[in-house]
């Protein structure tokens, strides 16, 4: 199963994908609504079913 980890910052979201054997390059997305939607579309196309998110504030 492919999973994704997100590291959320004020202006940027870092997104990595792990397939159980290797991890992808970390992708960087701005935090604007359109960019977050595009990240969601990309995750769906990759077949991601579970996402874990880390943030040190209340974003």
pLDDT in tens, 9-23: 999 999 999 999 998
30 φ/ψ angles, rounded to the nearest 5 degrees: -65, 165
Under a CB-based contact definition with an 8 Å cutoff, are residues 11 and 58 in contact? no
d(CA 47, CA 30): 22
Q: What per-residue confidence (pLDDT) applies to 59?
A: 58
pLDDT in tens, 2-59: 999 999 999 999 999 999 999 899 999 999 999 999 999 999 999 999 999 998 876 5
Q: Is 42 exposed, middle or buried (0-12, 13-18, 19+ CB in 10 A)?
A: middle
């Amino acid at each position: 199963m492919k999973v994704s980890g997100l590291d959320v910052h004020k202006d940027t979201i870092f997104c990595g994908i792990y397939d159980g054997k290797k991890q992808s390059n970390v992708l960087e997305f701005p935090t604007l609504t359109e960019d977050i939607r595009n990240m969601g579309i990309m995750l769906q196309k990759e077949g991601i079913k579970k996402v874990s998110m880390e943030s040190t504030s209340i974003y």
